[in-house]
Structure 1
Amino acid sequence: MSEVGRRFRAVLPAVGLLTLATAGVLGISTLLGFAPAPPVWRIVLTLVAAALLGVAATDQVRAALTDWRGATAAESGAHRRPRRGAPPAQRRPDLERTGEHADTGVFTGRTRRVPTTDDLWGGEGAVATAPPRVEDPPTAGPPPRPRPPRPSWVRLAVTVLSAVALAVLLWVPQVPVSGVVRAVAQFFSGYGAYALPVLPLLLAWPLPRLHREPWPWQLPLVPLVDRRLWTGEELRTLAVATLIFVRERVLTRSTGIVLAALGLLHLVRGNPDLLDGGTSRAGGIVGFLLAEPLRLVLASGGAIALLGGVLAGAAAVVAASVGRAWGTVTGYAVLAVALAVPLGAVGAGHWLGFEYYLRTENGRVVVVAGLSPDHRQAVHDTSLTVDGLSPSLVALFDKGLPVADNADGDRIAKALARPAESAAASFVGDQFELRAGECFDWIGGSSQLRYVAPCNGAHVGEVTFVGHLPFTVDPGKAAVEIASRAVCEQSYGDYLGVPFGQSFLPLEQPLLPAGLDGDGWQPRPVIACWLGSVGPWPLKGTKTVAALQQKVSWGAAGGCKIEVPDALRVTAEQPNARCVAPGPEQKLSVPGGGFAMDLEFAAIGKAAGGAKIGAGCFDGANLANGYSFEVAADGIIEIYKHVGDQHVKLGASAKPKNAGPPTTASTPLQVTCKPTVDGGVELTAFSTGSRKATAVDKNAPITALSPRLVLSNAATAGVVMTTMIFSATRV
């Protein structure tokens, strides 16, 4: 047989084992959904990598195959007879290394087989004659099974004590330093840390190994001992020795099974990031360093297949060595355990042991299974969309709200989005009880005592919703506070008639049960939502979007000043100023929204005659755009359209009859701005003295509007607009 043929025959078992195992794991992982099938070129690259690893493990696999054949032959008690015409039996170095032959040669008749370098590739070698040995048995019997020597009592004691110590530190949380040790172990090996106590037991009874030169541990110390750098030859020696050591440990020992399992655990758990702590719940930093480079080159599917092939190859070699020493039944058992335990644990890790978070994704609310709030392993759709959810609820989901599982996420998401389904009869506080729709007053100070008060009289607030938070397990103080506000925002529109975000009226801080955090936690706690009073009347169903008493910033733009004592005072501090209140800090605009405003105002100041006062519908994002209804010094109501610096009069009323101008008397005004069915904006203003002004804007109308007060000063500074009544509702 040619040299090429001998070498091909030598590497064929190892290449076949690694390649077939890799291909099998690739097919199984794809069918089970561990990772999508990689492109064809990456599949080919994966199989080529497996074949190269098989070439590297040739000697070890050949030795394992010989071990298994020897174990089978020893148990059957039969031996092959030499074929007629076959050359004398050849001595195999790999058999000698595994312990099949205890002598220095193999005898057949009067010939002794002398090993040569060709034996590494299956060569025939040389044959030398020798006289027959006297001690040779006259008949061939079953070859004795080479039992490894029993380990010393010291080795057994050390391994057992190490296993017990690790078990106590990692499996018993009551030990004081258990948490620290477990955190360190999980940082390096992830969930593999829980199996660490078992690993020392594998060292109690060492397996036979191939003969090799010991690792040159002196070379790394050259710079310290000899005070010089390494030579090129020393670096090559160190690299080759290290590669040989790694090859044996990874491809043929239990170490390879452990490392491959950590890399697989990292891959099947969705490749968690090292920075967010997700690797501690996967394969740790070891799994990350092993799997990530393979994933980048071979994709997840290819990396899973290659590591699975390495695990299967190492398990087969270990099982063969065990079978040679303790029988094929034991070898099969070891093979089954070495494959089933790590692959079963890794497979379960693809579905189990994740945390669940309510998140938003592509405009939908989903439950994400992951190892951290930013990690995505699996996604479950709750059938809810982001449209219609309040800003706080969207922010809560964007941040990631922990839930128990997919079903719990469905329940919590729907309960937060539809709080009316979780309404409660009453909120019980410290010596008070409130129900939805009731108004209340309070004694302030340290007592915080609230009591029910009539809504048509003086009161502090009005309860808009009383209901349960959907949490059965404490999600933390921050999550409770945000969820409480989200529930209040979601129920805002059901009570007021205007969705939250389309009204200036702010929500007050929700009322929570006392001691809700810590030991005072109760499942599905009851909260109460409320609005601050804006007058001696109830707000339920009024669709109020603005009021003079609202607790909102009225701040105006530069050149204007806002004061809110008993009435609202808007002062134009500069000439030719146009003051709009609320000012640019309040950016609310309702696309397609219509409003009806009721106000009463008066103007004072030396130059009040040059001022125009009234109300308007403006785009909150840019107060330079919108419509205004302004009462001039002669009492005429004028309707303007404003687009940047352009101010166009759209209409005006007649002069008032028997009504004084705003410079001498207070002026009531009712205005309406609302969209029309044909895409325009209808503008209407009424006042005393039979004044009425109307206009319809169809020329690039402004449709994102919000209610405002307006003071246009056309003369000197110092004009003051005093507003006694102001309220706006949706139409």
Structure 2
Amino acid sequence: MSEVGARVRAALPAVALLTLATAAVLGLSTLLGIAAAPPIWQVVLTLVAGLLLGVAATDQVRAALTDWQGAATAEAGSHRRGRRGPAPVQDPDQPLEKPARPRPKRPSWRRIGIIAAVVVVLVALLWVPQVPVHGVATAILTFGFGYAAYVLPVLPLLLLWPLPRLPRATWPWQLPLVPIVDRRLWTGAELRDLAVATGHYLRERVLTRTTGIALATLGLLHLVRGNPSLLDGGTSRAGGLAGWLLAEPLRLILSTGGAIGLLGGVLVGAAAVIAASVGRAWGTVAGYSVLAVAVLVPLVGAGAGHWLGFEYYLRTEQGKVVVVAGLSPSHRQAVHDTAVPVDGLAPSLVALLDKGLQVTGNDDGDRIARALADPSKAAAELFVGDQFELKAGECFDWIGGSSQLRYVTPCNAAHIGEVTYVGHLPFLEDPGREAVDAAAKAVCEQSYGAYLGVPYGQSFLPLDKPMLPAGWTQRPVIACSVTSVGPWTLKGTKTVAALQQKVPWGAAGGCKVEVPDALRVTAEQPNIRCVAPGPEQRLAVQGAGFTMDLEFAAIGKAAGGAKIGAACLDGADLGNGYTFEVGPEGVIEIFKLTGGQPARLAASAKPKNAGPPPTASTPLQVTCKPTADGGIELTAFSTGNRKATAVDKTNPVTRLSPRLMLANAGAGGVVMTTMIFSATRV
């Protein structure tokens, strides 16, 4: 047989072992759904990588096969007969003698002492929480090795079993020190020697020692747990930094399935070599036992990590609320659909879910998602505060400007707030104060529309801060309220705006807004258009219609050509929309604003038996609402048989919100006093 043929024959056992093990683990991970089947070219590349590792491990696997054959022969009680020469004659009168097994030497006492010290230190750091540096040590070691950090105290014990090694040169530890000691760079020959020695060392450690099993397990943990990122801490609950460094390059080249297969092949190969050594010394039963433990424990443990040990977060994804299982809020391992649509959820609730709300599992996520989306299902009868009790629909006042002591008062009397919802937060376990506060705000926003008739985010009326219990209780009861807007209850009114509301009325530059008893808008400069609420209030509702009831005090004869009235404007750009303006002679005019430039659409007749704004108070009712054919219908009424109507079908502005408006003429300092301003959705 030629030399090449002999080498090929010698490599066959190692190639078969590594290649078949790689293929088996790859197929198993695909069948179990741990990883998607890679493209055929990556499958071939993975098997080629396993074949090359088999070639590299030829000598080690041949030595292990020899050990295993020796163990089997020793148990059979006879040596194999050679190819040549007669078999030795056994004296029938003598008992059959089994060849003595080569027992490994006992480790030196120094080695035992060092290993024992290392084990004690690791046990104290990782398994004893009372040790002062336990937390720091655990954080550092889990960052480096992930979940494997918790079994680190056991691994040094494996060093007590001295595995045989093939003859090789000692690793040249002097070569890395050449630039320091000799003050020169390495020569080509030195770099080549260092690379060869390092390759031989790593080949032995990775393919024939427990080091290979440990490294393969770290890489498998990283892969089966969804390739977590270093940046969000997910690797600390997988294979740590070591697993990330080992598995990520393989995953990028071979895909997740291919990397799992190759690491599984390395693990099986190392386990087989170790098991052969154990079988040679202690028998084939011990060898098989070690092989089963060395292969099954890492593979089963890593495989179970694909489904177990994750945290669960309520998130939004593709228009639905889902439960995402992951190692961190940004990590995704598995997704469960709660069947709750995102459309219709309050903005604060969407923001809370976008951030990720931690739950205990899929069932808990389903329950919490449904409760947050429909707070009416978790309504409660009573909120009990500090020396006060409130129910939904009650109006209340409080004692003292900063006091939180509330008491119930009739809604047609003076009051500062109205309770819109009393109910339970759906938490059975404390998610933390930040999550409770965010969920309470989200529930108040979500229940807002059921009480007022207008969804939250489509009204100027603000929510007060939710009332919460002082400490944590299971399914805590909260109360939601809005600020008073007049001596009546708000329930079902569809009120969008009112004078008493606490909103940023602030106008743009050159205008001033004051809210003492009534609302005063002052045009401080000539030829300016003042709008209240101003640009700070950006609300605009697509396709919404509004009706506004207003009453203005006389602006005085000194106001000149100033006009007062209302507007339906795009909150994102107050230069677009429609205005309803009452001029000095009392005529109502309807304008369309485009880029701040007005174009008159309609006007009323002069008032009959009614005073104009400079000398008399002016009531006004205006409506802006979409029509069936896509236009905007605009209507304004006032006393004295004044009526103006228009329908805008030419590029109509369809994102609208109700506003007050003052347009002065040549003089500054014009004041518009508004005594009634109430807007409702139609």
TM-score under structure 2 normalisation?
Answer: 0.96
Give the counterpart letter for 2:667 in structure 1: T
2:319 to 358, 363, 378: 363
| Correspondence for 1:195 | 151
Greater Cα shift, 69-78 or 649-658? 649-658
Question: Is structure 2 residue 159 aligned with structure 1 residue 208?
Answer: no
SS at match of 2:104: coil
Matches for 1:153-232 after TM superposition, within 5 Å: 153-232=109-188
The whole-number CA distance in structure 2 between the counterparts of 1:33 and 1:350 is: 9
Other structure's SS at 1:624 match: strand
What is the distance in 1 between the residues matched to 2:665 and 2:325? 63
Shift of 1:649: 2.1
Aligned to 1:459: 415
* Aligned equivalent of 2:555, options 604, 607, 630: 604
Aligned counterparts of 1:648 and 1:194: Cα–Cα separation in 2: 75
What is the DSSP-based 3-state SS (H/G/I as helix, E as strand, rest coil) of the residue aligned with 1:610?
coil
| Corresponding residue number in structure 2 for 1:526 | 477
Look up the match of 1:125. none
Contact residue 222 and residue 247 of structure 2 kept, 8 A: yes
Q: Residues 79 and 445 from structure 1, CA distance in 2 versus in 1: closer, same or farther, beyond 3 angstroms?
A: same
Equivalent in 333, 343, 353 of residue 387 of structure 1: 343
Report what 1:50 is aligned to: 50
Determine whether 1:10 maps to 2:10. Answer: yes
User: What per-residue deviation string (whole Å, max 9, x for no partner) do you get for residues 205-243 of structure 1?
Assistant: 212221212212222233333344333322222221111
With 17-26 and 646-655 compared, the bigger mean Cα shift is at 646-655
Choose from 562, 565, 588 the match for 1:637.
588
Q: After superposition, where does 1:68-87 map in structure 2 within 5 Å?
A: 68-83=68-83, 86=84
The offset of 1:595, in angstroms, is 0.8
Q: CA deviation at 1:63?
A: 0.3
For 1:11, give the aligned amino acid.
A
Cα separation, 1, equivalents of 2:651 and 2:194: 79
Query: Does residue 649 of structure 2 align to residue 693 of structure 1?
Result: no
Q: In 2, distance between residues paired with 1:540 and 1:466?
A: 14
Name the CA distance, whole Å, in 2 between partners of 1:645 and 1:554: 20
> Which one-letter code corresponds to 1:40 in the other structure?
I
The letter of the residue matching 1:77 is: G
Stretch moving more, 650-659 or 183-192: 650-659
Correspondent of 1:715 among 647, 666, 671: 666
Q: In the TM superposition, what is the alpha-carbon distance from 1:141 to its structure 2 partner? A: 5.7
What is the letter of the counterpart of residue 563 of structure 2? K
Which 10-residue stretch deviates more, 267-276 or 226-235?
A: 226-235
CA contact (8 A) 1:543 1:729 kept: yes
The answer for the alignment partner of 2:391 in structure 1 is: 435
SS in 2 for 1:333: helix
d(CA) in 2 for partners of 1:156, 1:284: 29
1:318 aligned residue:
274
In 2, Cα distance between the equivalents of 1:677 and 1:579?
A: 32
Is 1:570 aligned to 2:521, yes or no?
Answer: yes
Distance 1:6 1:140, change over 3 A: farther
| Distance across 1 between alignment mates of 2:400 and 2:308 | 51
Match of 1:448 among 401, 404, 426: 404
Q: Say whether residues 1:236 and 2:192 are aligned partners.
A: yes
SS at match of 1:528: strand
- 1:521-600 to 2 correspondences below 5 Å: 521-600=472-551
Q: CA contact under 8 A between 2:146 and 2:237: conserved in structure 1?
A: yes
State the partner residue of 2:575. 624
What CA distance in whole angstroms lies between the structure 2 residues aligned with 1:426 and 1:193? 50
Is the CA contact 1:603–1:613 (under 8 Å) kept in the aligned structure 2?
no
Structure 2 residue matching 1:462: 3-state secondary structure: strand
For residue 697 of structure 1, report the CA deviation from its aligned partner: 1.9
Instruction: Find the aligned partners of 2:410 and 2:63 in 1 and give their Cα distance.
Output: 94
CA contact (8 A) 1:427 1:528 kept: yes
1:27-38 matches, cutoff 5 A: 27-38=27-38
SS of residue matched to 1:689: coil
Q: 2:575 and 2:180 mapped to 1: Cα distance?
A: 76
Partners of 1:551 and 1:507 lie apart in 2 by 9
Contact kept in structure 2, 1:603 and 1:719, CA below 8 Å: no
Q: Distance in 1 between matches of 2:135 and 2:593?
A: 67
In the aligned structure 2, how far is the partner of 1:598 from the partner of 1:226? 93
Paired residues of 1:607 and 1:718 also in contact (CA < 8 A): no
8 Å contact kept, 2:586–2:611: yes
Q: Can you give the 5+ residue segments of structure 1 that lack an aligned partner in the other structure? A: 90-107, 110-137
The residue aligned with 1:279 is: 235
Per mean C-alpha deviation after superposition, the further-off stretch among 45-54 and 706-715 is: 706-715
Paired residue for 2:213?
257
Q: Which moved more, 1:548-557 or 1:713-722?
A: 713-722
* Alpha-carbon offset, residue 421 of structure 1: 0.7
Moved more, 173-182 or 539-548: 173-182
| Inter-partner Cα distance in structure 2 for 1:230 and 1:310 | 33
What is the CA distance between 1:605 and its match in structure 2? 5.2
Q: Is 2:614 the counterpart of 1:614?
A: no
Q: Match of 1:565, SS?
A: coil
How far apart are residue 203 of structure 1 and its match? 1.1
- Inter-partner Cα distance in structure 2 for 1:603 and 1:665: 5
- Secondary structure, in 3 states, of the residue corresponding to 2:290? helix
**Does 1:350 find its partner at 2:329?**
no
Counterpart for residue 665 of structure 1: 616
What is aligned with 2:466? 510
Match of 1:330 in 2: 286
Q: Structure 1 residue 497 and structure 2 residue 448: aligned?
A: no
State the partner residue of 2:61. 61
Look up the match of 1:424.
Answer: 380
Find the counterpart in structure 2 of residue 402 from structure 1. Answer: 358
In 2, the alpha carbon distance for the partners of 1:726 and 1:447 equals 30
Q: Return the offset for 1:185.
A: 1.4
What is residue 103 of structure 2 aligned with on the other side? 147
1:414 alignment partner in structure 2 = 370
Q: More deviation in 715-724 or 34-43?
A: 715-724
Q: Is the 8 A contact 2:61 2:273 kept in 1?
A: yes
CA–CA distance in structure 1, aligned partners of residues 187 and 569 of structure 2: 80
CA distance in 1, matches of 2:211, 2:653: 72
Asked whether the 8 Å contact 2:556–2:613 carries over to 1, the reply is no
In 2 relative to 1, CA 447–684 (structure 1 residues): closer, same or farther, beyond 3 Å?
A: closer
**What's the offset of the Cα at 1:427?**
0.7
> Structure 1 residue 711: deviation in Å?
1.2
Partner SS for 2:573: coil
Q: How far is 1:531 from its partner? A: 0.5
Aligned to 2:676: 725
Within 2, Cα distance between the matches of 1:600 and 1:139? 122
Mapped partners of 1:330, 1:548: distance in 2: 87
SS of the counterpart of 1:194?
A: helix
Identity of aligned residues (%): 75
Letter matched to residue 453 of structure 2:
G
Amino acid in structure 2 at the alignment position of 1:716: A
Give unmatched runs, 5+ long, in structure 2. 89-93
Deviation at 1:273, TM superposition (A): 0.8
1:502 maps to amino acid: Q
**What's the CA shift for 1:387?**
0.9
Distance 1:232 1:67 in 2: 39
User: Structure 1 stretches (4+) deviating beyond 6 angstroms?
Assistant: none
State the partner residue of 2:91: none
Match of 1:114 in 2: none
Give the C-alpha shift of residue 590 in structure 1.
1.1
What is the aligned residue count?
A: 677
Work out the CA distance in 2 between the residues paired with 1:156 and 1:290: 31
